[in-house]
C-alpha cells in the first residue's frame, strides 16, 4: 500500500537583509581627519602652555597670614596677586595690595589703600576723613571698627596710606606710616582656596 500523501508545510521565504554599502574613506580623507585632530590637539596644548606662563609670570600665588583683612580675607586664604598691573595703571583708593613691610622688607603685608600721594587724611574716632569728606567704608563691618583718631596729615609724594579692614587689630600705616611706592609689588586679584572664600578681591 502506498503511503498517503503528506503535505509538507511551506516555510515562508527568508528575507535576507542586504547590508548597505559603507562609505569608503580614501587615503586623502583619512589624512585630512588625522591632520584636523592634530591641529586641535596642538591648539589645546598651546592654550594650556600659554595659561601656565601667564599665571607664572603675571600672577603669583600668596597665602594670607593673620586676620587683619577680615571679613574678606581669612587667615590661610590663598590668592593670586597681579605683579605687573601697576606697571601699566595707577594705584587706586580701595585697592587691596601686597607690599614689603617698611620696617622689615623681608616680610610682606596685605592691606587696603586708603589715601594717595597728596591726600589730606584725618581719622576721627575710627572714621576716615579724606580731603575734608568722610569716606564710606562699606568693606569695614561695624563690629570691626575702632575708635582711634589720627591728626590730619598730608600723604607724602610717592607714598600711600594703608589700613586693614579689621581696624581694631590691624597693624598698618597708623603704626608704621605711609608706604613708599617702590615697596608695593602686587594687587590682590582672586582668592582660589578654600573654595568657600573663592572669588574676586574687592
DSSP, residue by residue, 140-185 = S-GGG-----EEEEEPPTTEEEEE-SSTTT--SHHHH-PEEGGGEE
- Residue 202 to residue 198: CA distance in whole angstroms: 12
Is residue 47 part of the annotated active site? The answer reads no
The length of the chain in residues reads: 202
Quick: pLDDT tens for 39-86: 888 888 888 887 777 776 788 899 999 999 999 999 999 999 999 999
Give the chain's domains with CATH numbers: 61-200 (2.10.109.10)
In whole angstroms, what is the distance from residue 45 CA to residue 36 CA?
14
Q: Point out the catalytic residue in the list 35, 68, 148, 187.
A: 68
Clarify whether 171 is annotated catalytic.
no
Distance (Å, whole) CA 154 – CA 120: 5
pLDDT digits (tens, 9 = 90+) for 141-178: 999 999 999 999 999 999 999 999 999 999 999 999 99
Query: Residue 98 and residue 140: Cα distance in Å, rounded?
Result: 19
Q: How far apart are CA 99 and CA 176, in angstroms?
A: 13
pLDDT confidence of residue 29: 64
Q: Whole-model pTM above 0.85?
A: no
Catalytic residue among 108, 111, 148, 171: 111
Amino acid at each position: 500500500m502506498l503511503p498517503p500523501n503528506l503535505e509538507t508545510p511551506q516555510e515562508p521565504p527568508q528575507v535576507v537583509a542586504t547590508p548597505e554599502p559603507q562609505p569608503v574613506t580614501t587615503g586623502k580623507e583619512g589624512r585630512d581627519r588625522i591632520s584636523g585632530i592634530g591641529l586641535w590637539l596642538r591648539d589645546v596644548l598651546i592654550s594650556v602652555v600659554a595659561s601656565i606662563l601667564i599665571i607664572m609670570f603675571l600672577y603669583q600665588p600668596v597665602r594670607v597670614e593673620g586676620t587683619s583683612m577680615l571679613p574678606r580675607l581669612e587667615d590661610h586664604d590663598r590668592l593670586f596677586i597681579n605683579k605687573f598691573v601697576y606697571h601699566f595703571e595707577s594705584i587706586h583708593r580701595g585697592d587691596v595690595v601686597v607690599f614689603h613691610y617698611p620696617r622689615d622688607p623681608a616680610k610682606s603685608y596685605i592691606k587696603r589703600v586708603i589715601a594717595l600721594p597728596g591726600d589730606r587724611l584725618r581719622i576721627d574716632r575710627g572714621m576716615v576723613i579724606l580731603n575734608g569728606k568722610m569716606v564710606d567704608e562699606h568693606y569695614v563691618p561695624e563690629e570691626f571698627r575702632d575708635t582711634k583718631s589720627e591728626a590730619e596729615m598730608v600723604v607724602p609724594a610717592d607714598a600711600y596710606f594703608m589700613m586693614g579692614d579689621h581696624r581694631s587689630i590691624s597693624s598698618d600705616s597708623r603704626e608704621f606710616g605711609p608706604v613708599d611706592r617702590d615697596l608695593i609689588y602686587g594687587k590682590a586679584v582672586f582668592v582660589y582656596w578654600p573654595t568657600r572664600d573663592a572669588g574676586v578681591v574687592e
